[in-house]
């Protein structure tokens, strides 16, 4: 079975459309939080294997030094995980947009990371949930690492999944150097349940 | 609607209220002015503030230690954007200063907390209240801090000698290689205890360890820019950075005398021999430089011990 076989073409288009709507809502929230214009990208829908996760992350930002948080969410038996990664060079601009005063210590960066993650991840998964009539419950965010190498972010090893649906959204803010990547991942069982919901929409 | 179903609904609400009261997480409902509207038993138990006392009071006047600006930064998006926000113990260990729920066997004095702040909508779909949910994550936090401390110790062990706190041999050799590569001048010093095996027989192991520890402490006083290491057993090595032979020999002599003085009040002689080698224009490699220092040390031993020798061709 090829890697892409857990979703078909129509389903892929539908995921793309759902994400477009959701990330637009998320971008609107982010724009209101930062009071800045958020450039809307085209989300990338792909199916990745466990061993490809690091590669998928590597492609996510142009810089290698990153900080990231992840957050699990679950609803209607569908569970997924959201990861938000910031290029470390982004924090200075982010701090000035969010009107954080004081030195940009690792602790201050963590605050910025958490504040942005709360807004972006929440809006995005609820945006998807609303369209599918699923109420997603968010778990607590977990810091994956600060100022670490992209490759060290996710430990290798079998975490009990083989394939996952990956939705990548690359946000940039106009005129300032802020780059972040939001990655939504659904494991195979969850994708099966999601596909049923999607097929219902497609009919 | 029959009476029965209404009674059922009331029973359900009753149950839910009971559960919210007894659940082992903190629940606080705040209005737009940060005045407390709901305060569950977890909050009462840990803070000693009763729901009657808390109700209608401003949160920040009830708990002056709570950082108002910080908390509002997390809470305002909840009101304005109707989004859920989170704080984790890595940001701030706690929101409310509560004692550890296990006062005897707990390893932290206070409770580490994660919080979720969720919007509560009114009938007009406005988020005019919010609920703060407080989770006790003390065990997780303490465990994670333990692991990161253990990892740090492990990486220290890889480069440090545990007895003296100086660098170990392999770490020092790496420093030596990069020092040599930097083209800087300087001298190498090798210090070897005289007849240490006899001393080991005559004294206890603890006493011998103490001697080595004191020599290590003496080498540390040379400063960080002079890279000192316990090279092995009773041998110490130092890179005397940017020192010429004459100054290096003075330092070496001082060291030798201070080692000798360790045996002043003992019936055993404690002494060391020291070899010094300057980096010469034609010293071809770091290992050759080290072997020159070793030759000087050998010379000091051969000429009667408890002395200092400078490498000469």
Do B141 and B188 reside in the same domain of the chain? no
Whether B88 has its CB under 8 Å from any CB of chain A: the answer is yes
- The CATH code belonging to domain A3-185 is 3.40.1550.10
pLDDT at A116: 86
- Which residue, of B86, B115, B145, is where some domain finishes? B145
* Average confidence score pLDDT of chain A: 83
State which of B145, B169, B203 marks the end of a domain: B145
Q: How far apart are the first and last CA of chain A?
A: 26
- Kindly state the average pLDDT of the residues A150-174: 76
Boundary of a domain, candidates B145, B178, B195: B145
Contact between A34 and A98 under an 8 Å Cβ cutoff? The reply is yes
Task: Kindly state whether B81 is in contact with chain A, defined as any CB-CB distance less than 8 angstroms.
Answer: yes
In this complex, the residue of A71, A107, A123 whose CB is nearest that of residue B83 is A123
Cβ <8 Å between B116 and A140: yes
Q: Does A74 touch chain B (CB under 8 A)?
A: no
Provide block-wise average pLDDT over 10 residues at a time, chain B (313 residues). 75 89 92 95 94 95 93 90 90 93 87 95 89 94 87 82 91 90 91 91 90 93 88 94 93 94 88 95 91 95 94 87
Beta-carbon count within 10 A of B169 CB: 14
Q: For residue B134, is it within any domain?
A: yes
What's the pLDDT score for residue A104? 83
- Give yes or no: residues B18 and B139 share one domain: yes
Q: CA nearest A71 in B: which residue? A: B86
Angle at A111 between CA A106 and CA A115, to 5 degrees: 150
**A residues 84-123 lying closer than 8 A (beta carbon) to B:** 107, 110-111, 114-115, 117-119, 122-123
Its ipTM equals: 0.79
Those residues with Cβ within 8 angstroms of residue A58's Cβ, 6 or more apart along the chain or in another chain: A150, A151
The number of helix segments (H) and strand segments (E) in chain A equals 5, 8
Q: How confident is the model at residue A145 (pLDDT cuts 50, 70, 90)?
A: confident
Lowest mean pLDDT among A50-64, A88-102, A180-194: A50-64
Predicted confidence band of residue A2 (pLDDT cuts 50, 70, 90): very low
**Interchain CB contact of B51 with A (< 8 Å):** no
Assess B84–A contact: CB distance below 8 Å, yes or no: yes
CB-closest option in A110, A119, A122 to B91: A110
Q: In chain A, what are the domain boundaries?
A: 3-185
Integer distance in angstroms from the first to the last C-alpha of chain B?
109
Same domain, residue pair B224 and B282: yes
Please indicate, yes or no, whether residues B141 and B12 belong to a single structural domain of this protein. yes
Asked whether residue B34 falls in the same domain as residue B78, the answer is yes
Q: Which of B81, B89, B93 to mutate to test the interface with A (most CBs of A within 10 A)?
A: B81
Are residues B23 and B122 both part of a single domain?
A: yes
Q: How confident is the model at residue A1 (pLDDT cuts 50, 70, 90)?
A: very low
Copy the structure tokens of residue B248. 């290096």
User: How many angstroms away from the CA of A29 is the closest CA of chain B?
Assistant: 7
Residue range of the domain that includes B188: 160-310
Domain CATH code at residue B32: 3.30.450.20
Kindly state whether residues B61 and B194 are assigned to the same domain. no
In a domain, B256, yes or no: yes
> Nearest CA to B112 among B142, B138, B146?
B138
Determine, for residues B84 and A123 on separate chains, whether the beta-carbon distance falls below 8 Å: no
The nearest alpha carbon in chain A to B93 belongs to A107
pLDDT of the residue at B302 = 94
CATH number of the structural domain spanning residue B280: 3.30.70.270
**CB A182 within 8 Å of CB A60:** no
pLDDT classification of A158: cutoffs 50, 70, 90: low
Question: What domain count does chain B have?
Answer: 2
* B89 and B187 part of one domain: no
Q: What are the chain B neighbours of A123 within 8 Å (beta carbons)? A: 81, 83
The continuous run of DSSP H or E covering A23 comes out as helix A9-34
Looking at chain A, the whole-number percentage of residues with pLDDT higher than 90 is: 9
pLDDT value of position B3? 62
């Amino acid at each position: 079975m090829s890697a892409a076989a857990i979703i078909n073409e129509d389903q892929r288009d539908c995921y793309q459309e759902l994400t477009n709507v959701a990330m637009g809502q998320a971008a609107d929230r982010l724009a209101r939080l930062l009071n800045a214009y958020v450039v809307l990208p085209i989300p990338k829908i792909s199916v990745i294997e466990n061993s490809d996760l690091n590669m998928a992350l590597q492609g996510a930002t142009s810089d290698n030094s990153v900080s990231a948080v992840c957050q699990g969410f679950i609803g209607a038996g569908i569970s997924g995980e959201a990861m938000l990664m910031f290029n470390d060079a982004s924090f200075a601009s982010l701090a000035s947009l969010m009107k954080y005063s004081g030195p940009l210590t690792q602790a201050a960066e963590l605050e910025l990371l958490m504040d942005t993650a709360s807004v972006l991840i929440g809006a995005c998964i609820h945006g998807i949930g609303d369209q599918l009539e699923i109420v997603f419950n968010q778990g607590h965010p977990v810091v994956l690492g600060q100022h670490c190498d992209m490759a060290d972010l996710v430990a290798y090893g079998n975490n009990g999944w083989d394939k996952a649906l990956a939705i990548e959204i690359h946000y940039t803010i106009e005129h300032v150097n802020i780059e972040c990547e939001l990655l939504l991942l659904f494991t195979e069982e969850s994708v099966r349940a999601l596909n049923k919901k999607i097929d219902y929409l497609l009919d | 609607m029959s009476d029965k179903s209404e009674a059922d609904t009331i029973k359900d609400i009753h149950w839910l209220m009971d559960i919210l009261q007894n659940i082992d997480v903190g629940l606080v409902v705040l209005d737009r002015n940060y005045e407390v509207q709901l305060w569950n038993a977890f909050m009462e138990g840990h803070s000693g503030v009763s729901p009657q006392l808390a109700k209608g009071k401003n949160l920040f006047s009830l708990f002056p230690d709570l950082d108002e600006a910080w908390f509002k930064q997390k809470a305002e998006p909840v009101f304005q954007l109707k989004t859920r926000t989170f704080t984790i113990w890595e940001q701030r260990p706690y929101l409310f200063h509560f004692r550890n729920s296990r006062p005897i066997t707990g390893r932290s004095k206070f409770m580490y907390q994660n919080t979720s702040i969720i919007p509560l909508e009114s009938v007009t779909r406005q988020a005019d209240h919010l609920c703060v949910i407080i989770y006790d994550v003390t065990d997780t936090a303490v465990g994670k801090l333990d692991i990161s401390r253990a990892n740090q110790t492990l990486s220290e062990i890889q480069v440090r000698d545990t007895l003296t706190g100086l660098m170990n041999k392999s770490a020092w050799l790496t420093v030596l290689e990069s020092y040599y590569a930097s083209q800087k001048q300087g001298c190498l010093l090798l210090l070897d205890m005289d007849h240490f095996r006899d001393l080991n027989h005559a004294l206890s192991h603890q006493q011998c360890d103490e001697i080595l520890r004191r020599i290590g402490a003496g080498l540390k006083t040379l400063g960080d820019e002079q890279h000192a290491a316990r090279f092995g057993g009773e041998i110490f090595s130092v890179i005397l950075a940017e020192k010429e032979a004459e100054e290096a020999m003075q330092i070496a002599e001082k060291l030798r005398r201070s080692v000798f003085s360790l045996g002043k009040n003992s019936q055993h002689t404690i002494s060391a021999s020291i070899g010094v080698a300057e980096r010469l224009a034609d010293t071809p490699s770091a290992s050759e430089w080290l072997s020159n220092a070793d030759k000087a040390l050998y010379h000091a031993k051969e000429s009667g011990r408890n002395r200092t020798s400078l490498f000469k061709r």
